[in-house]
Structure 1
């Protein structure tokens, strides 16, 4: 193993261990001593890669930009559903992503303004997709993109009980929310064509006579 490879493994171990502690205790409740104890590393190894707890928190809080790129598709609401479920799945399985969400929910405690943007970026993607769905005529009259965004963000920012552990049912809980929310915001023509599981992308065209009965499959909304 080369020195560079060992250094990368050590850095990865520090970030993951720090994320676990940030998830459990938040920024102010986390100490570098506990991170070192759990990772079985020396203080010298930690400070070789990170100057301070703040710099370590900023590294954890910085989410790759590609995680905020929604999928493409002919139906904007379906892209929104797919993006949100994928993000929930990542939160359920990735402790670093959960830690970044907690640090963001703590209003960037210990982080620079640029790093603590998980919550801000997620809200921006959800709102933009809902505004596009509204412009595309996919929302019923009276469905406010901003209010729907607030409902969805309420789900993501209130997963505090799950921050410190992997939770297999987080995606299922969001799918359940969508099952009750979509009938309130999606047009009657579009609703039966939306799905809450991977599958062929729905088309924006209005279903023909008798077609709606064929799309009420497992995982679909209608």
Structure 2
């Protein structure tokens, strides 16, 4: 059991180090030596978990969606809003998530690294929530859940890239608030709009609530 726990910790340390290095340097410029130096593990330990740079990059990519996890909410549209703000907030401090996001849009990664994974996984995660919102009468009758989710994913991707380039994502909360202020009136029933919270600090408040819940 202790050996298994050490292996889990080592794998996580490698992933977090790789995420930081991929975020800082991109796929092409990142080397295994950089990751080893950052993770402070042996080459053997790294190759035990990840046999190649490509497999390491893929593992980093596959870590993205869980960072949007939040407790279920009665209002599914608010839950979707909150997921975007939580991911945006975590991008400020989580190197593994930042590395995953950079790899998802890095066109220099080889064909063996599946860039489509995070986009497909996000769509598979969010579409059922949007369908639940539709079933609960939260959406306008013209809304197609899958199309709306894919528009949201594409918009979030572009907005976070712009925010990273201009302010190192310091203004990402504001930019997400602006996105939702335009998007919500086009998908939500009018009676729901006043009750939805898409203020710029929403991510910080949701995470504070999560941390308080865990601490108690």
Same fold (TM over 0.5): yes
Distance 1:42 1:141 in 2: 57
Distance 2:95 2:122 in 1: 17
Are 1:23 and 2:31 matched, yes or no?
A: no
Show the counterpart of 1:174. 176
| Equivalences for residues 130-141 of structure 1 within 5 A | 130-141=130-141
| Equivalences for residues 114-153 of structure 1 within 5 A | 117-153=117-153
Look at both structures and tell me which one has the larger radius of gyration over its CA atoms.
Answer: 1
- Unaligned 5+ segments in structure 2 are 207-216
Q: Alpha-carbon deviations, 1:139-159, whole Å to 9, x = none?
A: 223233334223311233223
**Counting helix residues as a fraction of each chain, which structure ranks higher?**
2
| Equivalences for residues 104-115 of structure 1 within 5 A | 104-106=104-106, 109=110
SS in 1 for 2:191: coil
Show the counterpart of 2:192. 190
Distance 2:8 2:141 in 1: 53
Show the counterpart of 2:95. 95
| Residue correspondences, number | 196
C-alpha RMSD of the superposition: 3.6
Q: What's the TM-score once normalised by structure 2's chain length?
A: 0.69
Q: What's the TM-score once normalised by structure 1's chain length?
A: 0.68
- Unaligned 5+ segments in structure 1 are 200-222
Show the counterpart of 2:51. 51
- 135-144 or 176-185, which deviates more: 135-144
SS in 1 for 2:27: coil
Q: Alpha-carbon deviations, 1:62-99, whole Å to 9, x = none?
A: 22775455532222211111122112222332111122
